[in-house]
Amino acid sequence: MKLSEFIRPDSLAAARKALRELGPKGMVLAGGTALHFMQGKTPVTAVDITGLGLSYIKQKGDFFVIGAATPLSDIQRYRGPRWAMHEICRRISTHQIRNVSTIGGNIARVFPWADLPVVLLAMDARMVVYSGKEKEIPADEYFASQPARLFRGGDLLTAVKIPVLKAHHGFGSVKATRNAAAFSLATIAALLELKDGVIKSARVAAGSAIPFPQRLKPVEAALVGKEASTETFKAAAAASAAAAKWVGGEGMSADYVRQLAEVSIFDALERAAEFARGRAE
């Protein structure tokens, strides 16, 4: 990707107007860490949104709201009483990259190794998109296919809304890599709601080991209504074999990655259940 010019708009409306006028010759820029993964020799104009006040983390009612230009390092450092996003962010790439890379840049265009879409699917997040006015898009709809489809008309991702974890809800995530800075072989995230030791609801998502991040609905179905036990988690993890098209990577076969994903699902479920048991209020 070759940048020929920078524009620094002073408002969301001005940024959207510039992107609409530029069309394919314009692109949003925040952290810029994904540029070298983007193909194309045609010069483009970067519309820099880092001066639009989109870097923040706030709790508003039942949601944590994260501005789209918030660096991953800020999310990693943030702590709240019902917050879990820091766990996955601390395992993304290196600290130098996390200082620059933004949550919006990680999910406006999804690369095969992306971790955050997996977590946001499991947590039932909402993405806020500006199209002259703001609208919220649920994670299931937003990640139904490549999110870049939503921004071709100049619209902008402005924030991500993460539900505050309620009592008896637990979250767990696992990222399997060959080394600390490597791309993920398998990323798994799970959100469980327990009531009297029984799983009342479940959202389980996977990425990296499959062509595009998705929820694992057969795994969820194997959990709901069952006791939150080791046996239940093993059976649910086994259901993952037919839940997605598992693909190899980093020199690993598809069968190896499928087995790795199964183990990672079990671990994520165990972590989510432990988290939920420790949160009675």
Indicate the residue among 130, 163, 196 that finishes a domain.
163
Instruction: Look at residue 30 in the predicted model and tell me its pLDDT.
Output: 86
Q: Please give the tally of structural domains in the chain.
A: 3
pLDDT at 252 over 80: yes
- Domain of residue 235, CATH code: 3.30.390.50
Which stretches within 2-102 are classed as H helix? 12-22, 72-77, 86-89, 95-98
What is the pTM for the complete model shown?
Answer: 0.92
| Residues 190 and 239 occupy one common structural domain | yes
Query: Could you tell me if 174 and 159 lie in one domain?
Result: no
Residues 62, 44 share a domain: no
Whether the CB-CB separation of 202 and 276 falls below 8 Å is answered with no
CATH of the domain at 23: 3.30.43.10
Q: Which neighbouring-strand residues pair with 190?
A: 172, 204
Q: Determine how β-strand 3-7 pairs with β-strand 44-48.
A: parallel
Residues 224 and 148 in one domain: no
Tell me: do 65 and 43 sit in the same domain. no
Give every CB contact of residue 236 below 8 A, 6+ residues apart in sequence: 204, 219, 222, 223, 226, 265, 269
Over the stretch 123-164, which tens digit does the pLDDT of each residue have? 999 999 999 999 999 999 999 999 999 998 899 999 999 999
Domain containing residue 219: 169-277
The last residue of one of the domains, among 163, 183, 216, is: 163
Q: Which of 163, 186, 212 is the last residue of a domain?
A: 163
Do residues 157 and 181 both lie within one domain?
Answer: no
Say yes or no to pLDDT of 279 above 70.
Answer: no
What is the C-alpha to C-alpha distance for residues 151 and 47, in angstroms, rounded to an integer?
13
Question: CATH number for the domain including 143?
Answer: 3.30.465.10
Same domain, 120 and 35: no
pLDDT tens digit sequence for 50-63: 999 999 999 999 99
Alpha-carbon span 258 to 264, nearest angstrom: 10
Is pLDDT of 33 > 70? no
